[in-house]
Amino acid sequence: MMSFIDAHRDAYGVESIGMQLPIAPSTYYEHKAREADPGRLPPRCRRDRVLSDEIQRVWEENFRVYGARKVWRQLNREAIPVARCMVERLMRMHGMQGVVRGRPCRTTVSDDAADRPNDLVNRQFMATRPNQLWVADITYVATWAGFVYVAFVIDVYARRIVGWRVGNSLRTELVLDALEQALWSRTGTEGLIHHSDRGSQYLSVRYAERLAEAGIESSVGSRGDSYDNAMAETINGLYKTEVIRRRGPWRNIEAVEYCHPGMGGLVQSPPLAGTDRQCTTGGDGRGVLSPTGRVGCGSLTQTTGSPEKSGRFIQTRRVCEYMRGQVLSFACRPC
């Protein structure tokens, strides 16, 4: 307000501006007099100026990592009596903030300006047949090489992961590849409902076009409410608890990819009859790669062959060559 009066006082005058703004002319003149003569400042303002300089000094000397509590304690060690609430107020006033441990990892970045589908599920995660309702979500895994992101597609009726993908970025390709695997492993998706959160990946044009091409209707939950996608969040929790934390630490994205063929039993439900599955077991009952280059148990299937139909998921050749001929560590029933 003071800067506005300074910019327009020559054209309109202080009194005229004061009649339009909630400020008296005497208040403005007193403010300008205090700027010219700091001795006219009230005692609290003078002390705030002194303490602000001391707080700035302590904060700068400690590499700008100290928060209000540590700055307050350091000032008291230096025999500068000050209340903690005053340190917090002055640091907030001058934009000083301590460093925060850890780096936040956001997997849901919503676009408020984008049009989004309605919530067709309304927290009722129930289905009477396969391919009636799918839920999808993204989670992250901390590795030595940085964050790795994992996208899942889950069939609510079978309660199995029908599509997954691991990547080192949150681009649309991550969720699109998981969807392609789910579409390849399941047929008859006409009238299916695909439910997700408001992540920009799921609201992208490419993802919406692929759903429409497969005859799938999109459903999106509300913003900032994990209960609207509770089943997918539960799968993420099981994945972290039963796979990531028990078998870690993880070095890189290849290690995380290699663990996924053993997750067929992550969602406890028998495989559906009549679905496109192929699995080969070794002499000890554990799954191995089949001659076609595919490995699977339940809903998890990988392939390195050429696509036989549109939408078939193609796993990276590097991972499949690494897995070729090796016995995997998951128990598998004959399909």
Amino acid sitting at position 90: L
Each residue's pLDDT, cut to its tens digit, for the chain (335 residues) gives 888 999 999 999 998 998 888 889 999 999 899 889 988 999 999 999 999 999 999 999 999 999 999 999 999 999 999 999 999 999 999 999 998 876 666 666 655 666 678 888 888 888 999 999 999 999 989 899 889 999 999 999 988 889 999 998 889 999 999 999 999 988 888 889 999 988 888 888 999 999 999 999 989 887 667 788 888 888 888 888 888 888 878 888 888 888 765 454 454 344 344 444 333 333 333 333 233 333 333 333 333 333 333 333 333 333 333 333 333 333 333 33
- Dist. CA 269–CA 154, nearest whole Å: 12
Spatial contact of 229 and 121, defined as CB atoms under 8 Å apart: no
- Dist. CA 7–CA 21, nearest whole Å: 14
| Sign for the pseudo-dihedral over CA of 131, 210, 141, 256 | positive
- Dist. CA 170–CA 282, nearest whole Å: 37
Q: Which residues face 193 on adjacent strands?
A: 133, 217
Instruction: Quote the crossing angle between the two packed helices 205-213 and 172-185, to the nearest 10°.
Output: 10
Amino acid sitting at position 258: Y
- Dist. CA 122–CA 119, nearest whole Å: 6
Q: What is the 8-class DSSP label of residue 110?
A: B
Query: Strand 133-143 to strand 286-288: parallel, antiparallel, or no bridges (unpaired)?
Result: unpaired
- Dist. CA 127–CA 132, nearest whole Å: 6
CATH code 3.30.420.10 region(s) in the chain: 133-262
Q: What CATH class does 133-262 carry?
A: alpha beta
Q: Which CA distances in Å does 1 have to 40, 42, 93, 216, 248?
A: 21, 20, 17, 56, 57
